[in-house]
Amino acid sequence: MPPIEGPVFQAQLPFRWQSAHQPIASNDAEVLRYLIVLADFEQNHLSLELAQAKQDLLLIWMAKQRDIALPQTTALTVGMNKLAWLNQSPLNVGETGVVEFSFSIDFPLLLSFKARIIESKLTGQYYQCVAEILSLSPAVQDQFEQTVFRHHRRAVQQARQSR
Query: Where exactly are the structural domains of the chain?
Result: 9-161
pLDDT of 52 strictly over 80: no
Fold of 9-161: Thrombin, subunit H (2.40.10)
Percentage of the chain beyond pLDDT 90 is 46
- CA dihedral angle for residue 33, residue 39, residue 42, residue 44, rounded to 10 degrees: -100
Using alpha carbons only, how large is the chain's radius of gyration in Å?
A: 16
148, 77 in Cβ contact below 8 A? Answer: no
Return the pLDDT at 25: 62
- Which residue, 110, 107, 103, 99, is CA-closest to 30? 110
pLDDT of 65 strictly over 80: no
57, 63 in Cβ contact below 8 A? Answer: no
Q: What are 68-96's pLDDT values in tens digits?
A: 678 899 999 999 999 999 999 999 999 99
Kindly report the average pLDDT of the chain as a whole number: 84
- The pTM (predicted TM-score) of the whole model is 0.80
pLDDT of 107 strictly over 90: no
Return the pLDDT at 97: 93
